[in-house]
């Protein structure tokens, strides 16, 4: 169950990161809130991945 949730979370974070990258390439404005959300999601992704790695 946790593995399925982790995989879905990884996909969602990846899609959001790709979306922000494409937005920057198109020279559209990226707000600081969007960057803060990206950083928070990436940190949560690392933490959840480490928890899964350690506790399986």
Q: What is the model's pLDDT at position 22? A: 94
Q: What is the model's pLDDT at position 41? A: 94
Any idea which residue has 């690392």 for tokens?
A: 46
Q: What is the model's pLDDT at position 46? A: 95
Q: What is the model's pLDDT at position 2? A: 81
- Tell me the whole-structure pTM to 2 decimals: 0.83
Residue 14 C-alpha from the chain's centroid: 5
Cα–Cα distance, 50 to 46 (Å, whole number): 6
Cα–Cα distance, 3 to 50 (Å, whole number): 13
The answer to whether the beta carbons of residues 22 and 38 sit under 8 Å apart is no
For residue 41, count other CB atoms closer than 10 A to its CB: 16
| pLDDT tens for the chain, residues 1 to 56 | 788 988 999 999 999 999 999 999 999 998 999 999 999 999 999 999 999 999 87
The backbone torsions φ and ψ at residue 42, rounded to the nearest 5 degrees and listed phi first, read -65, -40
């Amino acid at each position: 169950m946790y593995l399925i949730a982790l995989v879905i979370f990884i996909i969602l974070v990846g899609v959001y990161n790709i979306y922000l990258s494409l937005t920057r390439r198109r020279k559209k404005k990226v707000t600081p809130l969007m960057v803060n959300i990206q950083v928070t999601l990436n940190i949560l992704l690392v933490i959840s991945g480490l928890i899964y790695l350690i506790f399986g």
